[in-house]
């Protein structure tokens, strides 16, 4: 395509731009999680299952649903437009434009997929450590600043200069 940018020459997104994009999305999905948690808490209380797993069952299901929804959203948004709404606000995008859908699905399951596990005691600690390590690896991977999810999918997050 004539005049399209060469993604090999594109500037990588700064770590704080990527963090801000995820934080924007986390606010929206956090609201979704709490609404879901309250609804599930009410349902489990009504049917007498609130005390199963020491009352953690609503949280487990809410994290699972919110995490699955977020991973699905991440996959679909990157498949459709190469960016999520947080990335659009921060004026960054995924490169290259023609990443296969299967590669994007793998990317979405590595990060933010572990969010699905956040409600499970002990496993939530491991999931949180995985997410932290992904962020740390982005910081130390110079000059491209790619995380394991980017490497797995063959992608980069770059500044969208047009």
Helix-helix angle 101-110:57-81, to 10 degrees: 150
Q: What is the domain partition of the chain in residue ranges? A: 15-159
Residue 144 pLDDT greater than 60, yes or no: yes
Mean pLDDT of 8-35: 91
Q: How far from each other are the two terminal CA atoms of the chain, in whole angstroms?
A: 15
Pair of tokens at residue 44: 């489990």
| pLDDT (tens digit per residue) in 104-130 | 999 998 887 788 888 788 888 988 888
DSSP state of 12: B
Hey, which residues does 95 pair with through a beta bridge? 156
The pLDDT value recorded for residue 58 is: 85
Q: What is the rounded CA–CA span in Å between residue 151 and residue 137?
A: 11
Residue 138 pLDDT greater than 70, yes or no: yes
Q: What is the rounded CA–CA span in Å between residue 37 and residue 9?
A: 44
The pLDDT value recorded for residue 94 is: 94
The pLDDT value recorded for residue 1 is: 40
Contact, 60 vs 128, CB < 8 A? Answer: no
- Among 3-7, 23-27, 138-142, which stretch is predicted with the lowest mean pLDDT? 3-7
From the number of C-beta atoms within 10 Å of its C-beta (0-12, 13-18, 19+), residue 3 rates as exposed
The pLDDT value recorded for residue 106 is: 93
Pair of tokens at residue 149: 């999810």
Sign of the four-CA dihedral 72, 155, 127, 129: negative
Average pLDDT, the chain: 87
Residue 100 pLDDT greater than 90, yes or no: yes
Q: Alpha helix (H) ranges present in the chain? A: 15-46, 57-81, 85-90, 101-110, 123-140, 148-153
| pLDDT (tens digit per residue) in 39-60 | 988 888 887 777 776 777 888 8
């Amino acid at each position: 395509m004539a005049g399209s940018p060469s993604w090999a020459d594109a500037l990588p997104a700064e770590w704080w731009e990527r963090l801000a994009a995820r934080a924007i999305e986390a606010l929206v999905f956090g609201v979704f999680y709490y609404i879901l948690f309250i609804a599930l808490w009410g349902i489990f209380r009504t049917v007498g299952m609130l005390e199963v797993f020491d009352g953690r069952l609503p949280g487990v299901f809410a994290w699972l649903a919110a995490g699955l929804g977020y991973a699905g959203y991440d996959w679909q948004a990157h498949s459709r437009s190469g960016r999520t709404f947080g990335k659009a606000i921060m004026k960054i995008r995924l490169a290259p434009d023609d990443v296969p859908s299967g590669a994007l699905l793998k990317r979405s399951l590595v990060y933010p997929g572990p969010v699905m596990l956040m409600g499970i005691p002990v496993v939530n600690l491991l999931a949180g450590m995985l997410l932290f390590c992904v962020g740390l690896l982005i910081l130390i991977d110079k000059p491209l600043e790619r995380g394991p999810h980017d490497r797995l999918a063959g992608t980069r997050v770059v500044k969208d200069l047009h």
